[in-house]
Amino acid sequence: MTYDSNNLFAKILRGEIPNKTVAESEHALAFHDINPSAPVHVLVIPKGPYVCFDHFAAEASDAEIADFHRLAAQVCKLTGVAPDEGDGYRAITNAGENGVQEVPHYHLHILGGRNMGRMIARG
């Protein structure tokens, strides 16, 4: 899969565009979405050049995959949405045209702070 290093999140990782960081690890970064769809809307991205979920899952190292998910779990705790202490959240990722992915750098959306409704609109 071809990765475009001029995408927005690559620029955030290079420090060319500012972000409101929630947490950071060796292989991943979590920051607030600029246009939040819920009171909590955090994006978790790997630091490596992966276009989307399946690209990351197929080609990232075990260390990158573990580190990414540990950071996502930390975000759930830090934002108070983890179901053991808070009211829960939705984690989603969009891929490609039908997934309506805007930024071609893999990112997990963590959304919470309100009831998120049904998973997808019908029709």
- Judged by the rule CB under 6 A, the positions of this chain that interact with ligand 5GP are 8, 17, 19, 31-35, 94, 101-103
Is the dihedral angle over the CA atoms 31, 9, 66, 97 positive or is it negative? positive
The beta strands (E) that lie in the chain are given as: 21-24, 28-32, 40-46, 89-92, 108-112
Q: CB of 112 within 8 A of CB of 81?
A: yes
The residue from 41, 105, 107, 109 that is catalytic is 107
32 in active site: no
Query: Taking the complex as a whole, how short is the minimal distance between the CB of residue 32 and ligand 5GP, in angstroms?
Result: 6
Closer residue to ligand 5GP (CB): 85 or 121 = 121
Q: Which is nearer to ligand 5GP, 27 or 107 (CB)?
A: 107
If the CB atoms of residues 15 and 85 are measured against ligand 5GP, the closer one turns out to be: 15
In whole angstroms, the minimum distance from the beta carbon of 56 to ligand 5GP comes to 14
Specify which residues 24 forms β-bridges with.
29
Distance CA 13, CA 111 (A): 21
Shortest Å, Cβ 19 to ligand 5GP: 5
